[in-house]
Chain A
Amino acid sequence: MIAPGTIPEVSPLLDEDMRKQIGDVFSKLHQDVWLLTIVDLKDEKCVELASLLKDMERQGEKVHVELYEPGENLSLEEDLTDGGHLPALGIYREGHVYTGQSFLGVPGGKELNSLLIALYNTAGTGQAMEDQVKKRIQAIDKPVNIEVFVSLACHHCAQMVISCLRMAALNPGIRAQMVDANLFPDYVKKYGIERVPMTVINDAHTLMGGKSLEEVLDFIEKTV
Chain B
Amino acid sequence: MNHFIEKKVEPFCVQAYHNGEFKEITEKNLLGKWSIFFFYPADFTFVCPTELGDLADHYEEFQKLGCEIYSVSTDSHFVHKAWADASDTIKKIRYPMLSDCAWNLSKQFGVLLPEEGQALRGTFIADPQGVIQAYEIHNLGIGRNAAELLRKLQAAQFVAEHGDEVCPAKWQPGAETLKPSLDLVGML
Q: Is this pair of chains taken from one and the same complex? A: yes
* A188 close to B171 (CB less than 8 A): yes
Given A21-B184, A113-B184, A208-B162, CB of A196 within 8 Å of CB of B177:
no
29 cross-chain CB contacts under 8 A:
A14-B180, A18-B182, A21-B182, A28-B188, A106-B177, A108-B177, A109-B177, A109-B178, A110-B180, A112-B180, A112-B182, A113-B182, A113-B184, A151-B169, A153-B167, A155-B167, A156-B167, A181-B171, A182-B171, A182-B172, A182-B173, A182-B175, A185-B171, A185-B173, A188-B171, A195-B166, A196-B166, A197-B167, A210-B163
- A113-B183, A117-B184, A156-B165 known, 6 other contacts, Cβ within 8 Å: A28-B188, A109-B178, A117-B187, A185-B173, A193-B169, A209-B164
Residues on A with beta carbons closer than 8 Å to the beta carbon of B169: 151, 154, 181-182, 193-196
Smallest Cβ-Cβ distance to A21: which chain B residue: B182
Given A108-B178, A109-B179, A152-B177, CB of A25 within 8 Å of CB of B167:
no
Does A58 interact with chain B (Cβ within 8 Å)?
no
* A127 close to B165 (CB less than 8 A): no
Q: In A167-224, which residues have CB < 8 Å from any B CB?
A: 181-182, 185, 188, 193-197, 208-211
Residue in A45, A153, A185 with the greatest tally of chain B CB atoms within 10 Å: A153
Residues on B with beta carbons closer than 8 Å to the beta carbon of A147: none
> Beta-carbon contacts of A102-118 to B below 8 Å, as 1s and 0s?
00001111111100110
Residues on A with beta carbons closer than 8 Å to the beta carbon of B180: 13-14, 18, 107-113
CA distance A209 to B165 in the complex (A): 5
B17–chain A nearest beta-carbon distance, Å: 39
Does A120 interact with chain B (Cβ within 8 Å)?
yes
Residues on A with beta carbons closer than 8 Å to the beta carbon of B175: 182
Does B141 interact with chain A (Cβ within 8 Å)?
no
Does A157 interact with chain B (Cβ within 8 Å)?
yes
Residues on A with beta carbons closer than 8 Å to the beta carbon of B178: 108-109, 152-153
B86–chain A nearest beta-carbon distance, Å: 44
Does B168 interact with chain A (Cβ within 8 Å)?
yes
Label chain B's interface by main secondary structure. Answer: loop
Does A48 interact with chain B (Cβ within 8 Å)?
yes
B41–chain A nearest beta-carbon distance, Å: 37
CA distance A209 to B183 in the complex (A): 20
* B interface size (C-beta, 8 A): 24
> Beta-carbon contacts of A34-63 to B below 8 Å, as 1s and 0s?
000000000001001000000000000000
CA distance A16 to B184 in the complex (A): 16
CA distance A109 to B181 in the complex (A): 5
* B166 close to A208 (CB less than 8 A): yes
* A13 close to B179 (CB less than 8 A): yes
* A210 close to B184 (CB less than 8 A): no
CA distance A172 to B17 in the complex (A): 63
* A157 close to B162 (CB less than 8 A): no
A48–chain B nearest beta-carbon distance, Å: 6
B173–chain A nearest beta-carbon distance, Å: 6
Smallest Cβ-Cβ distance to B182: which chain A residue: A21
CA distance A82 to B184 in the complex (A): 30
Q: In A121-160, which residues have CB < 8 Å from any B CB?
A: 127, 151-157
Smallest Cβ-Cβ distance to B162: which chain A residue: A208
CA distance A117 to B187 in the complex (A): 8
Smallest Cβ-Cβ distance to A160: which chain B residue: B165
Residues on B with beta carbons closer than 8 Å to the beta carbon of A107: 180
* B166 close to A209 (CB less than 8 A): yes
Given A45-B177, A106-B177, A152-B178, CB of A195 within 8 Å of CB of B167:
yes
